Amino acid sequence: MAHPALDLSLDAARLTARLVDFPSVSGDEKALADAVEEALRALPHLTVDRDGDAVVARTNLGRAERVVLAGHIDTVPIADNVPSRLDEDGVLWGCGTSDMKSGVAVQLRIAQTVPDPGRDLTFVFYDHEEVAAELNGLRRLAERHPEWLAADFAVLLEPTEGNVEGGCQGTLRVHVTTSGRRAHSARDWLGENAIHKAAPVLDRLAAYRARRVDIDGLTYREGLNAVRIDGGHATNVIPDHCTVTVNFRFAPDRSEEEAAAHVREVFDGFEVEVTDSAPGALPGLSHPAAAAFVEAVGAEVGPKFGWTDVARFSALGVPAINYGPGDPKLAHTREEHVATAAVLEAEERLRAWLTA
């Protein structure tokens, strides 16, 4: 299906509608990536590069600082909510309106309307964010072309309801395993119940008191929770194996290694296997560009509870924050929507910051 070219002279709200009307479920971003690349190459003040379905555009004005504006162009599977629909109250409905084609529209508008910013700009539009981490387009760019992402500060336009969310938590998952001996449940004294042996694991979780950590004036709350229990073979068999899956959401002052060591300490005496982890990101609000951003946008500032791709920038030594017009609670829902006024406000706030 052919799609029209993107018209960057549209305001961010109408441009959001055009972007939503490009179905771009993860793995099917090519048409939208083609349109984004074509629109950006028409702007003479930008240098444009592409890797797969990720597009990166940069100004090269010799400014003292460089800022990245980043966003993913893919969505979760469509839930009968494309094409977009604008209602009489100025609310735009459709897949990706909040997460995060409204943020991408703001990026594109800034690329078109701010040819002479006070800071050099890098615009990153990447693919495969809504699927497995190993497919993530920003991860691929960081591995193949880290120089494309080099900057002093980054803004990820994920939905935050127009607030500034600094950094993000790290996340770690482990399997805590207990072993026993199988037996017929009518002769339980002949076996050892591995599920019963997991009771102390749950006791330790119930008694656990999570840290609260202040970083750059933001309070991050950690959490250590059982999220799954697997064990048992049949309703008449004493189980010989039980696994408790535990998720640790840790403050960004801990490294992944420190987080893993802490979890092993909590479950000392048990078999603990780390199954996956991702680092957090420090908020970087003390950086002059971040301070200027917060002042310019006039938004409330808080910590990011959860993990976002700001962690990838942090790993590259680039402090990053989350800021976007959508409501994160609506992400991935059938009723996903965004207020057009919020999109226009985000566009104007970013333009004011970059032209001050």
Q: Which of 29, 37, 53, 74 is catalytic?
A: 74
**Mind spelling out the 3-state secondary structure of the chain?**
CCCCCCCCCCCHHHHHHHHHCCCCECCCCHHHHHHHHHHHHCCCCCEEEEECCEEEEECCCCCCCEEEEEEECCECCCCCCCCCEECCCCEEECCCHHHHHHHHHHHHHHHHHCCCCCCEEEEEEECCCCCCHHHCHHHHHHHHCHHHHCCCEEEECCCCCCCEEECECEEEEEEEEEECECEEHHHHHHCECHHHHCHHHHHHHHHCCCCEEEECCEEEECEEEEEEEEECCCCCEECCEEEEEEEEEECCCCCHHHHHHHHHHHCCCCEEEEEEEECCECCCCCCHHHHHHHHHHCCCEEECCCCCCHHHHHHCCCCEEECCCCCHHHCCCCCCEEEHHHHHHHHHHHHHHHHC
User: What b/e readout covers 125-134, taking b as 16+ CB neighbours within 10 angstroms?
Assistant: bbbbbbeeee
Are 259 and 277 in contact by the 8 Å Cβ rule? The answer is yes
Catalytic annotation present for 51:
no
Q: Which among 356, 350, 215, 351 is positioned nearest to 285, based on CA atoms?
A: 215
Q: Looking up tokens 């790290």, which residue turns up?
A: 170
Catalytic annotation present for 74:
yes
Q: Which of 29, 120, 127, 129 is catalytic?
A: 129
Tokens of 151: 């900057």
Q: Which residues are annotated as catalytic? A: 74, 129
